[in-house]
Amino acid sequence: MPQHSLPAASHQAFTDIGDDEVEAIRAFNRFYTNRIGVLDRAFMDTPYTLTEARVIYELAAQGTTSASRLTEELSLDPAYLSRMLKSFSDAGLLETTKDPADGRGRLLRLTLRGCGVATDLAQRSRQRIVALLQPIAEEGRRDLAAAMALVQTLLSGASSTEAPITIRPHRIGDMGMVISSQAKAYTETYGWNGEYEALVAEICAAFIRNFDPACERCWIAERNGVFLGSIFLVKGSGEGTAKLRLLSVEAAARGQGLGTRLVDECIAFAKYAGYRRLELWTNDILVSARKIYVAAGFTLERQEPHHSFGKDLNGQIWALDLTAPDSGTAPSA
């Protein structure tokens, strides 16, 4: 029996991948392929295998294509695909025509009967997915779709930045993401301890407990359902004063102007709600955030050293006069 081994470079690249990571993915593969019936000989009670159904789907989606293109896009063996296409043609599902751009090439297209088979397969697939999702609550379905989008992005190596970043009001379950994101980011970047996570949790709990939709907001930024950042506007201690709190931007969204967008949204709503002054507390080591505040018109009012979160820090109070004519724009819907 021939022996197979990884090339030295590839083997070296794998040394940092933990066995637990590999086994987690293998376990998921076993679970999911069994769950959706991939291992069944007949795909969704049809005469076709999963690979045959996938080829029919591509033929329907592309309208007109070539065998070489299918081979490349689906990573199929050319001889295997050729036999499959012949069987489709013999069954009346596929027709071929000369390629006007290449006299030696042939173009593939489903017949009316083939289109009917493709439609039936698509309907069966959709019904299977609907059945899988039916027992799951709406929030869980959103989480599942977002997780699958993230898996697709990571495994394909594609850039998720092609999709737009959306900003929306908070909903049930978002506070957990905010707390987790903030705690991890500040621990990994600045070495802060669990005291900061406790503070963020207290702020989020107070926001939910006392939320006044007429004059308070939390905005969540996301792309394809994946959390990318947040910001809060809450009532301040003085009359006509609001506080900007917990601005955060995930590493995957930095450098794209998201922090500025979140701050602008906060300022716009603060003005819309009738506040005259907007305050925030930060620390001088948070350089990127301070640049955003300065650009938005905030001014430093006072600062004081303190020991918090396991570190010696320099806390700062910044404020923005919302009565100034250039201190914000109308809030988005």
Domains of the chain (ranges, CATH numbers): 15-135 (1.10.10.10), 166-321 (3.40.630.30)
- Position 103 scores a pLDDT of 65
- Position 174 scores a pLDDT of 94
For the chain, which residues score pLDDT lower than 50? Answer: 1-12, 330, 333
DSSP reduced 3-state for 297: coil
Residues sharing a CB contact under 8 Å with residue 66, sequence separation 6 or more, in sequence order:
99, 105, 106, 107, 108
- Position 10 scores a pLDDT of 46
- Position 225 scores a pLDDT of 83
What are the structure tokens assigned to 2, written together? Answer: 């021939």
Enter the DSSP assignment of 327: S
- Position 6 scores a pLDDT of 43
- Contact criterion met (CB below 8 Å) for 37 and 43: yes
- Position 3 scores a pLDDT of 43
Q: Provide the edge-to-edge strand list for the sheet that holds 166-169.
A: 166-169, 217-223, 226-235, 241-249, 277-283, 311-321, 299-308
- Position 2 scores a pLDDT of 40
Angle formed by the axes of helices 258-272 and 287-296, nearest 10° = 40
Residues sharing a CB contact under 8 Å with residue 96, sequence separation 6 or more, in sequence order:
89, 106, 107, 108, 109
